[in-house]
Structure 1
Amino acid sequence: MKAMIQHNSIAVLTSKRAEIKDPEAKKLAEEIMEAQLRDIAQMKMIIYRLENQKEE
């Protein structure tokens, strides 16, 4: 999952750095970035939970 965070982070960086002029394409890049950031946050929470759960 940690590798997935890196992968999603690259998508966010690419979307931020893109010099997109077309409004539709720009909106799509923004939506991709928002979705990736949500996914990263969720993955971090899962990793935290798994790393800190007590052995049962």
Structure 2
Amino acid sequence: MSRARKPFIPDRQVALWIGYGGIIIGAVALWDAYEGRGRRRPFATKLLPGG
């Protein structure tokens, strides 16, 4: 039986907030890079969360 490794972020709630915050910041950055500047997004970015 293998042992589970210790989580990088011990508190689950903090890990969730960091993860969701990263998705939101990434979606805003992608929007700003393309739609905010009047450019079309590459097809691959439409498959990303928040895309």
Q: TM-score range by the shorter chain?
A: 0.5 to 0.7
Gaps spanning 5+ residues in structure 2: where?
1-7, 40-51
- TM normalised by structure 2 equals 0.53
- Structure 1 stretches of 4+ with a deviation exceeding 3 A read none
CA RMSD of aligned residues (A): 1.5
Q: Which has the larger radius of gyration?
A: 2
- TM normalised by structure 1 equals 0.49
Identical pairs, percent: 6
> Is 2:21 aligned against 1:40?
no
Q: CA deviation at 1:43?
A: 0.3
Gaps spanning 5+ residues in structure 1: where?
1-18, 51-56
Report how many aligned residue pairs link the two structures.
31
